Structure 1
Amino acid sequence: GAVLLARRITGPLKKLVEGTVKISKEDFSQKIDITSQDEIGNLAQSFNDMSRKLLLARERMEVASNKLIQAEKLTSIGRISAGIAHEIRNALTSVKLNIQKLVQSDRLDETEKEHLSISQEGIGQMEKFVKELLDFTRVSELNLARFSLEQILDESIKTLADTLELKKVVLEKNYKEGLPQVLVDADKLKQVFLNILRNAFDAVEEKGEINISLSLLKEQEGSKIRVFISDNGCGIPEENRETIFEPFYTTKASGIGLGLPIARKIIEQHRGTIRVKENAAQGTSFEILIPTEEER
């Protein structure tokens, strides 16, 4: 009896874990075939509802992206995405609550609860997906204060220290001394730097190189701090150098292609610019220009 009960629980749990792992990799066609009238059945129903909404969300966004001209696209996609993101968030909440009920119940042993923890990690990936959608659609005020870009860059690098160590990436910094502080939203700029650095880490091989430089650029319209981040990874084809800033464009197996559009949006809020520069060697180079405080 106990063995039969364990099989009745473990089998459906494996289906749920496999489905969650696949959907966290953006295979939204997953459907869990569990019809039991218990906590596991409720979780499966919540899961199927969520995967259906995710699939519908992606289809609706692709249609919007393909049909609308560029001037209308950002506004329309933003409006659609905001509504979809809230729908998905509600479905995610239902799945999380059902998983928590199962974890807290006496029906599962520790191994089965560990299986469910894998599902919880997958849910975390989907929550990141929703957060990116909402970040892209929100027009939030900047929380401005004086900061040195050296400090924000160093904090970003520190956040990724484990990734650096794991891949044995060589990171070189070249910061010009005496650069002025700038009036910026430090958290938002850190989000930009983290996105570019993570892309660089993904692009380089083990023991690859990433270079970061900071300098002062004096132009006719005023002084700017120049942030230059380059890597010796696989690079971006010339024809894609502008496309990468468009919403939902991605070459990665996972990800929804909003990291760089969000980065551009943040930089433009600071009255700055971000672009991909031609790299003499292989790899990718990003140039970010932020106006100095006296020019803002």
Structure 2
Amino acid sequence: MEASPQAAKKDQRARLFRIYNYYRIVISLLLVALLLLETDLVGTRLHNEWLFQATALTYLAMNIVTGMLLLAGYALRPWHITLSILADIVAIHLLAFFSGGISSGIVNLGIISVAAGNILIPGRVGIFYAALATLASLVTATLLLLQGLSGVDDIVRAGVMGLIYFAAAFLLQNITRRLASSEQLASERARSIEELEQLNHQIIQRMHTGILVAEPNGALRMANAASGELLLGERTAAPRLTTLPQALKQRLDQWLEQPGERTPPFQARNDTPSVQANFMRLDSPLEHLVLIFLEDTGKIVQQAQQLKLASLGRLTAGIAHEIRNPLGAISHAAQLLGESDTADDGDRRMAGIIQRHSERVNAIIENVLELSRRRTTSVRLMDLGEWLAGVVNDYVETVQEPVLIDLKLSGVPGSARFDPSQLQQALTNLIDNGLRYSRQRTGRPQLTVRTGVTEDGQRAYIDVRDYGPGLDETQQASLFEPFHTTEQEGTGLGLYLARELCEANQARLFLLESGETGCCFRITFAHPGRRALDFSASGANLTGNEP
């Protein structure tokens, strides 16, 4: 924590007074040394050698004691400085009185004392120092004149010394004020720069774009919170980034070789979004560092899809009435044809095909209409294990055929903030898909549902693992796109809607792994302490279940 301006000023005053006291000790030692020398050698004639000796020794002792107190950490107060300056002025003029008077030269030391007082404590007290020193010089010269030890010219010298005292006081006070003003201006500018730096830091940390500063060898200098989320799956994980992930390092190497080329998107881990990296050199003198911007391409694609689906929904809403009237007539006619006594098996089979496809068209219209409607999430904190056990039991009891769902609950309690109805809808879509594809490969509708907590212990997750044929790379690339399906009778909106519902609740749905023995989808929830935003989810009440 930085010291306040007043505390910094006190510390500076204490340092200056400590230096001044060293000067006082040296001067008092020199004055005592005069006693050991022949006075004729220094041109000094002592009027009273014994009192000069006593005053010099007392002055030395006082300065040594003051120095020891300062070394011991004694708290210095302004009145201590004032008392010391006054003692200096009195001691110097006593020494001048016991020696050669104003003309001895010792009185010139008073200029330093007055100057030091005006530096340490500027203001009216500094003028008082000059006035006291002037008065002491005049008193000294007058007393020596009355004793016949000096002439009238010493009175003139005392007056000149007074002018020097006041000139030193005014000059140093003016310089001190200017220095204080400059120091205050520098302090305010430094504080403004520090506040601006903190503001920039907060802005960078709260940006949704990942920002990193790296060296060409991949060592990281700085990473904001968004980069931790895009590369490690959690915003709080940014401090753990010390080097670039391998996928990002490869793209940095590509850019260094061909700066004009745009590198392809990448995914650092299965549980992180697809990311587009952009690179640029910093300006001098940091041109050896590379600034990296990370953009979540999934959000861009999602926004484009939402705009497309919203437009499609408005279009469908406009023509739904005209489509449903003939569609209803076709469906009714096919039903009557299938129930006719004169229809043979071929006619009934064709009527069934017409009926099924009429229902499919109607389901597509319903789903697209729902995509254009926004419904607010109702988020609450749930015990994931208890809630999931109830949902699975309800699902098993309501389906028309026997299914096998192996529910594995983690021993670590998991909590999540989610809209229960929307989570149930997303989970139902995943379970429907898993059971259907497991039946295709194994002949039995079975899957495994498991709960757990991420490695950092901060977020809960749900895994839905099926035993189907798996997905190839081409199918995985477009898995969550709307209207993409591998089934002839599917709408292609099930997984897309499930992911939309998860993202509306600040969770993430992704394909964890895929192989010949099936796929595993994972829903990773946000930290339970993180409040979900109040925004709407597209298709918040859809029941489509085909991928």
Per the normalisation by structure 1, the TM-score is: 0.61
Match of 2:92 in 1: none
Where does the alignment leave 5 or more consecutive residues of structure 2 unmatched?
A: 1-299, 342-347, 532-547
Measure the CA separation in 1 of the matches of 2:321 and 2:453: 47
State which drifts further: 117-126 or 179-188. 117-126
Measure the CA separation in 1 of the matches of 2:332 and 2:513: 53
Kept in 2, the 8 Å contact 1:96–1:120? The answer is no
Where does the alignment leave 5 or more consecutive residues of structure 1 unmatched?
A: 1-68, 103-107
State which drifts further: 125-134 or 69-78. 69-78
Q: 1:97 to 1:246 in 2, by over 3 A?
A: closer
Q: 1:84 to 1:233 in 2, by over 3 A?
A: same
- Opposite residue 159 of structure 1, the aligned amino acid is Y
Answering whether residue 312 of structure 2 is matched by residue 77 of structure 1, we say no
Measure the CA separation in 1 of the matches of 2:337 and 2:510: 53
Answering whether residue 394 of structure 2 is matched by residue 158 of structure 1, we say yes
Q: 2:460 aligns with which of 225, 230, 241?
A: 225
- Opposite residue 187 of structure 1, the aligned amino acid is S
Kept in 2, the 8 Å contact 1:245–1:260? The answer is yes
The secondary structure found in structure 1 opposite 2:458 is strand
Match of 2:376 in 1: 141
* Higher RCO (CA 8 Å, separation ≥ 6 residues): 1
Kept in 2, the 8 Å contact 1:152–1:189? The answer is no
The secondary structure found in structure 1 opposite 2:470 is coil
1:171 CA displacement: 2.0
- Opposite residue 501 of structure 2, the aligned amino acid is I
Kept in 1, the 8 Å contact 2:316–2:365? The answer is yes
**What is the CA deviation profile of residues 29-75 of structure 1, one whole-angstrom value per residue up to 9, with x for unaligned ones?**
xxxxxxxxxxxxxxxxxxxxxxxxxxxxxxxxxxxxxxxx9476314
Q: 1:214 aligns with which of 451, 455, 459?
A: 451
Query: How do 1:15-164 residues align onto structure 2 when only pairs under 5 Å count?
Result: 70=301, 73-91=304-322, 93-95=324-326, 111-112=339-340, 123-150=358-385, 151-152=387-388, 154-155=390-391, 158-159=394-395, 161=397, 163=399
The secondary structure found in structure 2 opposite 1:291 is coil
Answering whether residue 488 of structure 2 is matched by residue 257 of structure 1, we say no
Q: 1:262 to 1:179 in 2, by over 3 A?
A: same
The secondary structure found in structure 1 opposite 2:518 is coil
Cα-Cα RMSD: 3.7
**What is the CA deviation profile of residues 114-148 of structure 1, one whole-angstrom value per residue up to 9, with x for unaligned ones?**
x8x97777654433222322343333210223333
Measure the CA separation in 2 of the matches of 1:110 and 1:247: 34
State which drifts further: 285-294 or 74-83. 74-83
Q: Which has the larger radius of gyration?
A: 2
Kept in 1, the 8 Å contact 2:417–2:525? The answer is no
Give identity over the alignment, percent: 18
Kept in 2, the 8 Å contact 1:88–1:130? The answer is no
- Opposite residue 512 of structure 2, the aligned amino acid is K
Q: 1:278 aligns with which of 495, 507, 513?
A: 513
The secondary structure found in structure 2 opposite 1:203 is helix
Measure the CA separation in 2 of the matches of 1:95 and 1:147: 46
Q: 1:217 to 1:240 in 2, by over 3 A?
A: same
Kept in 2, the 8 Å contact 1:135–1:262? The answer is no
Q: 2:525 aligns with which of 283, 290, 296?
A: 290
1:275 CA displacement: 0.9
**What is the CA deviation profile of residues 154-187 of structure 1, one whole-angstrom value per residue up to 9, with x for unaligned ones?**
4256335465735xx4321101246244321111
Match of 1:199 in 2: 433
- Opposite residue 90 of structure 1, the aligned amino acid is H
Measure the CA separation in 2 of the matches of 1:170 and 1:227: 17
- Opposite residue 158 of structure 1, the aligned amino acid is D
Measure the CA separation in 2 of the matches of 1:163 and 1:145: 27
